[in-house]
Amino acid sequence: MTTTIRLAMTVFDTPDPEGLARFWYALLGWEVDPEWTSDDWVTLRKDGHTALGFQLAPDLVRPTWPEGTVPQQAHLDLYVDDLDEAEAATLALGATLLHAPGGDDETFRVYADPSGHPFCLCVV
């Protein structure tokens, strides 16, 4: 193949694009890109390049992972230095804890954002 394919952004469906963008803005500290934001779409960027999009999907069915009939379709892994500190901040922003393996060798925990999308906090 001679053409270059580059990832432009990761997009989340959500019944509340603005609210979900606020959650990820607070968690990651990325900036809203006003040129790529409308009533049914919000874009966050880091350094003008890496992007997350939030697209209006009023009929979104939340994943019910790890149990239930609606599986996760994708998830993000986010690296953190201190799992307990990151968890406290994440939960305060409105995330829900889905799974914590526990034990002395625990290296990750799984959460859902306010629209139900699973993501992991992982110790670097």
> What tens digit of pLDDT does each residue of 9-54 get?
899 999 999 999 999 999 999 999 999 899 999 999 998 888 999 9
CATH number for region 10-56: 3.10.180.10
Q: Is the pLDDT of residue 102 over 70?
A: yes
Q: For the chain, which residues make up each domain, given as ranges?
A: 10-56, 76-123
- The DSSP output letter for 10 is E
Give the separation between CA 32 and CA 56, rounded to whole angstroms: 16
pLDDT category of residue 5 using cuts at 50, 70 and 90:
low
Q: Do residues 44 and 31 make contact, with C-beta atoms less than 8 angstroms apart?
A: yes
Question: Would you state the structure tokens that stand for residue 105, as one six-digit string?
Answer: 């060798």
Count how many residues are written for the chain: 124
CATH of 76-123, one of 3.10.180.10, 3.90.550.10, 3.40.630.30, 3.20.20.10: 3.10.180.10
Q: Do residues 63 and 116 make contact, with C-beta atoms less than 8 angstroms apart?
A: yes
Q: Do residues 37 and 83 make contact, with C-beta atoms less than 8 angstroms apart?
A: no
Closest CA to 51 of 28, 18, 73, 72: 28
- Round to the nearest angstrom and report the end-to-end CA distance of the chain: 35
CATH topology match: 10-56 vs 76-123: yes
Mean pLDDT of 1-8: 73
Give the separation between CA 22 and CA 30, rounded to whole angstroms: 10
Q: Is 31 helix (H, G, I), strand (E, B) or coil?
A: strand
Question: Would you state the structure tokens that stand for residue 8, as one six-digit string?
Answer: 């432009």
pLDDT at res. 51: 92
